[in-house]
Every structure is written in C-alpha cells, then in structure tokens.
Amino acid sequence: MKTLLPTSVIGDARLLAGLDQGRLDRQAHLWTHGAQPQLTRAAYAELCEAVGLKGRGGAAFPVARKLAGLPARGIEAVVVNGSESEPISRKDRLLLTRAPHLVLDGATGLAHALGAPHVLIAVHDPEAALSIREAILERDDQLAIEVTETPGRFVAGEARAVLSVLEGGPAVPPGRKVLPTQQGYHRRPTFLSNVETFAQLAVLARLGARGFSSTGLASEPGTQLLTVAGAVQRPGVIETPIGVPLNTVLQFAGADAGPVLLGGYHGRWLPQGANQLLQGTGIVLALGTETCPLGEVYRVAQWLASQSAGQCGPCVFGLAGLVDDFARLFRGDASGWYDAQRHLGLVPGRGACAHPDGSARFLASALEVFDDDVRSHLAGGCGRQVLGVLEVTNG
C-alpha cells in the first residue's frame, strides 16, 4: 500500500470528510455521510441547475445542460471517468482510493434516476481499481457496475478515448466529434463525467440546494478539490470553497515565492504575486525560484508532444514543431521564439480533441509569463538548472 496522500481542508469538509483517518469502508461512509437519498431525474436536473454544478474534469461543462442533452429514455450507461492522466493531478485517485462509496453513490443514484442499466468506471491507477472493486462488493446497487483499467496516456483520459476503451477499442479519441449524450457507449446515449463530479452529486443529493450553497461563490456555490504541488511544504489534495483566493491556498500549503501554474499542462501560468479567485482550477503548482522555468516548460513540451494520439496532422506536426522551437529557444537561438509564435497561432482548433489547444495554451502563457527568463536565455542562459519540478510521467 502506498503512503497516504496528505489531505487538508479550508472551510467545510464535504468530499474529504472523515478521510484524515484513511479509507472509508461502507460502514464508515454511512456514518460520515448518511444514506444516499433516491432522487428522480427531474430532481437531479433541478438541483444541478439551482447550484450551477459544473463538471470537474477540466471543461467545466454545466451538469444540468448535460442532463438536458440526454433523450427522455434509452440511456445506456453512466460512465465515471477516473482516467486521471494529467501527471500533477491526484484528486480523483484520492476519491477513488479513500472515498469510493461517495463516488459510487453519485454514479448509481444518477443511473437509477436516468434508468441507465450500466455504471462503467474507467480508472488507470491499480490501487484505485482495487478500492472501487472492494467497495462494489460491499453494496447491492441492483445495477451492472464494471471497472475497467485504462492506459496512463494523457489523451486516454479524453471522454471519447475512455468510451473507446470501455468498448474494447484503443485509448484514443475517435478523430471525429461526437457527443456522448447522443452517441456514447456503443453509440447509445450516455452520461459521462469526471470522478469528482459524481462525488459532488452525492453531496448535493444529501444537502439539497440550500445546504450545498452555504459555501462558495453566489454564482457557483460549493467546494472544490485542488491538487497542490511543486515548491510547497505541504503538497496534497485540499478541499476549499469555490472562489478561494489563490494567495490563501499558497500560504496554507507553504508555497515558495515564484510563478504558479493553474490547471495543469493544459492550463496557464500566473506571474509571481498574482492573485485571483480559484474556480474550476483543479491544480495549483508553485514553481519556486530555484529551477529554470524555460527548461521546465521545454521538458513538458516534449512530453505533451509524446502524448499525441498521432492521428491529426496539426497536432502531430504542430506539437513536434513547438518542441523544436522551444529546444532552440532554450539554447538561446532567437529563431525558436519567432517560430514558436507562428506555430502557437497555427495549432489550436485543428485537432479532433482538446490536446493541441490545451498544449498551445500552456506554452503560450509560458512565453508570456517567463519573458524575462526567455531574454536571459537569448543573452546566454539564466544560470539555473532544470530541477524537474514539473512531473512528466502518468503516475
């Protein structure tokens, strides 16, 4: 068994309630959260609309709109996407390994309400798979619940790549845009969302709209899970009210001064000292000041290019081109800067999934925020080593 990932809470503990003692088995879960109420489809839709619940997988799509996109009947499956393939993120793994019943409550409660006969759970961490399988044996949900292990590639976590794996296919997006609510599992209507979304649904069903809205922003109430990593004294997963100031989180985690990455390798950089309210972020990584920012970004660029599913030209050639641009820039060759600007304008909006767009966003914001470091490299180097603060494995 791996060491327990540290958890902490700013404000109300909801998703992380009781987890400081370890994993919640069925009994401990019921003791902590109480029984899951059985709600109708209309009740779920009303609750999600009332609190403005958004998916927690990165795209922040409103859950009420996703529910409204499903047909009245014939829904095949509810899919829990636990293929947390972003290297920095740990929040979904934490829920699956420590609060599996909360995730299962959210998924099975919604499956019953939608009349969906299958609950399919895609995970890529063996410990998470084991935990969720153990939890299923402790319950009697009167549904076909299956756990499938997915490969750890970055794009394997994309919704349509997950559906492909569940159907026995390769872990890549299909190369065409289809909505799972219309053509999901075996081309039948499917509700698919991220692990944390289902845990939030389980909490929402218990608390109701008013109770759920006792914390967070008026425009988006509730709590959120943040993976806090990098140059911090207390890394781990933190539950905070939605809209918590970034500075509060950095102080709480004991972060070193320096730039901060929000949202992981499809996210964006903030310069040292910038503050903002955190909403839909998921990841806060403090870079510190000891490492070479450009070298760190170059390593991630190589990794992002290696994660392309290799089926869309602008993604395959665009990301490879950007790696070459950043390599030259790192060596102090100004042509790398000009070519990167050109490629960053060409890559977005031309792939079959969000990988090229997200990668371009990450790299473009790096060039903006690390402008001084870029100048130092063009003038002969910044004098710092690349310490590998940014992880590049699908751990």
Footprint of ligand SF4 on this chain (CB under 6 A)? 155, 172-173, 175, 308-312, 315-316, 351-353, 355-356
- Judged by beta carbon, residue 81 or residue 308, the one nearer ligand SF4 is 308
User: Could you tell me the CA-to-CA distances from 289 to 173, 246, 266 in Å, in that order?
Assistant: 37, 18, 22
Is there a contact between 305 and 320 (Cβ–Cβ < 8 Å)?
Answer: yes
Residue 316 CB, shortest distance to ligand SF4, in Å, is: 6
Give least dist CB 162 to ligand SF4, A.
13
**Rounded least distance, CB 56 to ligand SF4, Å:** 21
Q: Which is nearer to ligand SF4, 237 or 309 (CB)?
A: 309
- What is the helix (H) or strand (E) element at residue 328, kind and residue range? helix 313-330
* CB neighbour list of residue 339: distance below 8 Å, 6 or more residues apart: 321, 324, 325, 328
Beta pairing partners, 285: 229, 261
Beta bridge pairs of residue 81: 122, 194
Residue among 263 and 295 whose Cβ is closer to ligand SF4: 263
Biggest distance spanned by C-alpha atoms of the chain: 66
Report the alpha-carbon distance of residue 47 to residue 345 in Å, rounded. 40
Bridge-based pairing state of the strands 260-262 and 283-286: antiparallel
Nearer to ligand SF4, 272 or 311 (CB): 311
Q: Rounded to the nearest whole angstrom, what is the least distance from the CB of residue 110 to ligand SF4 in the complex?
A: 28
Q: Cα separation of 267 and 262, whole Å?
A: 6
What's the token pair of residue 218?
Answer: 């008026």
Cα–Cα separations (whole angstroms), residue 165 to 74, 82, 113, 170, 370:
22, 13, 25, 6, 38
| Closest distance of CB 320 from ligand SF4, Å | 11
384: helix, coil or strand? coil
> Min. distance of Cβ 310 from ligand SF4 in angstroms?
6
CB atoms < 10 A from the CB of 291, how many?
20
| Closer residue to ligand SF4, CB minimum distance, 13 or 354 | 354
Q: What is the nearest approach in angstroms of ligand SF4 to the Cβ of residue 307?
A: 7
- Rounded to a whole number of angstroms, the minimum distance from the CB of residue 80 to ligand SF4 is 22
**How is residue 155 annotated by DSSP?**
G
Would you report the helix, strand and coil content of the chain in percent, each value rounded to 5?
45, 15, 40
| DSSP code at position 370 | T
- Closer residue to ligand SF4, CB minimum distance, 200 or 308: 308
Minimum separation from the CB atom of position 373 to ligand SF4 (A): 28
By C-beta, is 29 or 355 nearer to ligand SF4?
355
Contact 158, 49 (CB under 8 A): no
Q: How far apart are CA 164 and CA 307, in angstroms?
A: 17
The distance of closest approach from Cβ of residue 33 to ligand SF4 in the complex, given in angstroms and rounded to an integer, is: 37
Closer of 117 and 175 to ligand SF4 (Cβ):
175
CB of 156 to ligand SF4, least distance (A): 10
User: Among residues 210 and 350, whose Cβ is nearest to ligand SF4?
Assistant: 350
Q: Which residue is nearest to ligand SF4 (CB)?
A: 351
Q: Which is nearer to ligand SF4, 4 or 320 (CB)?
A: 320
Nearer to ligand SF4, 167 or 368 (CB): 167
For 60-122, give the DSSP string.
--BHHHHHHTS-SS---EEEEEE---STT--HHHHHHHH-HHHHHHHHHHHHHHHT-SEEEEE
